[in-house]
Amino acid sequence: MLAEMPNRLTGATNLRERAHQILDEVCNRVGLDPTGAELLRLRSNAVFKLRAPIIARIATAPTAVERLPAVLAVTRWLADRGFPTIRPADDITGQPMNVDGAAITFWHYIPTASTPATTADLGRLLHALHTGPTPPLRLRTLVDPLASIRATVQHQPGVLDHDDQRWLRDRIADLTDAWHALPFREPPTLLHGDAWIDNLLRHEDGHVLLSDWDSVALGPREWDLVHSYHGQRRFGLSPADVNDFATAYGYDLREWSGYETLMQIRDTYAIGIHIRNAPGAPFSCRELSHRLSCLRVGDTRTRWHMKENNNL
């Protein structure tokens, strides 16, 4: 997404450089020291750990500035109710901040344990989230999970050739119709929106917390559940990981008649980030080609990559 950044931040040739430039500017505004900031993640957001210690998150999706006030409000509401979530660094006022189209938020740093969180932990937290109350806040409703990639395909020139662009438009249209026909069993609930194991942190005291609420919404619980099953298909989770997740949640999505359709929707959704990042990240160029090739031939077995050579 950082590839979409307006180019007043001159001189940057890739996503990493641009992220650091934005960080320097926003830290200067709020009186934080960006010296030695550690880049923890560079995917849909750039995530930095500052020496403060504070986490700075930089998002450049076109809708980020509009969405992030709700993200901040939901995480405060959940934390106040005792739900294990990261929470904003509210001593830094004026969030989210805007730097040349990028939206920046600041969060309390969580010192993590050496033992990672598990899919069973994730299943338990999602069950608590989905069966808990809905916050008295104005939240978006997830009615079209492919909306962002549809807009990306239409408005990201020079990344996809004409044939790939046409094929993706047709596939997105077909899968959007399929989404609206899915037999969801439960009423809409509060969704994390990106409920992947990488967004679960184990605090050094042993308890686990959910982070990265940028996609929070109201919608069908199946959208949160599918991430772990998709993780087995594409990102190296084991069958045992997924079985543990299903057991902890108390429901196995594979028993649902809409399972395979939802997996195809998730597969297609998952190439959007690399279309957006491709102009500034050679890894995204290669991964986009790899994922698109799999989709076009109906390959549901080949593994995809979250990052290059285990680096950001």
Q: Is 309 part of a structural domain of the chain?
A: no
Q: How far is 162 from 52, CA to CA, in rounded Å?
A: 47
In sequence order, the β-bridge partners of residue 49 are 38, 55
Q: Is 113 part of a structural domain of the chain?
A: no
246: DSSP letter: H
Instruction: Let me know whether 226 and 274 are in one domain.
Output: yes
Q: How far is 45 from 96, CA to CA, in rounded Å?
A: 14
Instruction: Let me know whether 124 and 273 are in one domain.
Output: yes
Instruction: Let me know whether 37 and 179 are in one domain.
Output: no
Q: How far is 222 from 178, CA to CA, in rounded Å?
A: 14
Write out pLDDT tens, residues 229-244. Answer: 999 999 999 999 999 9
Instruction: Let me know whether 148 and 102 are in one domain.
Output: no
Q: What pLDDT does 309 receive?
A: 57
b/e burial code for range 112-139 (CB count within 10 A of at least 16 → b): eeeeebbbbbbbbbbbebbeeeebeeeb
Name the domain count of the chain: 2
Q: Is 306 part of a structural domain of the chain?
A: no
Q: Is 307 part of a structural domain of the chain?
A: no
Q: Is 114 part of a structural domain of the chain?
A: no
Instruction: Let me know whether 67 and 190 are in one domain.
Output: no
Q: What is the CATH number of the domain that holds 78?
A: 3.30.200.20
Instruction: Let me know whether 131 and 84 are in one domain.
Output: no
Instruction: Let me know whether 290 and 192 are in one domain.
Output: yes
Q: Is 308 part of a structural domain of the chain?
A: no
Question: Could you say which of 57, 88, 108 is where a domain stops?
Answer: 108
Question: Could you say which of 86, 108, 130 is where a domain stops?
Answer: 108
Instruction: Let me know whether 88 and 142 are in one domain.
Output: no
Instruction: Output the six-digit token pair for 157.
Output: 């020139």
Instruction: Let me know whether 156 and 266 are in one domain.
Output: yes
Instruction: Let me know whether 100 and 131 are in one domain.
Output: no
Q: Is 270 part of a structural domain of the chain?
A: yes
Structural domain boundaries enclosing 178: 119-297
How far, CA to CA in Å, does 297 sit from each of 91, 294, 300? 51, 6, 9
Instruction: Let me know whether 143 and 288 are in one domain.
Output: yes
Q: What pLDDT does 10 receive?
A: 38
Instruction: Let me know whether 274 and 155 are in one domain.
Output: yes
Write out pLDDT tens, residues 53-71. Answer: 999 999 977 778 889 999 9
Q: What pLDDT does 1 receive?
A: 34
C-beta of residue 261 within 8 angstroms of C-beta of residue 226: no
C-beta of residue 267 within 8 angstroms of C-beta of residue 230: yes
Question: Could you say which of 61, 83, 108 is where a domain stops?
Answer: 108
Helix, strand or coil, per DSSP, at residue 226: helix
Low-confidence stretches of the chain (pLDDT beneath 70) = 1-13, 308-312
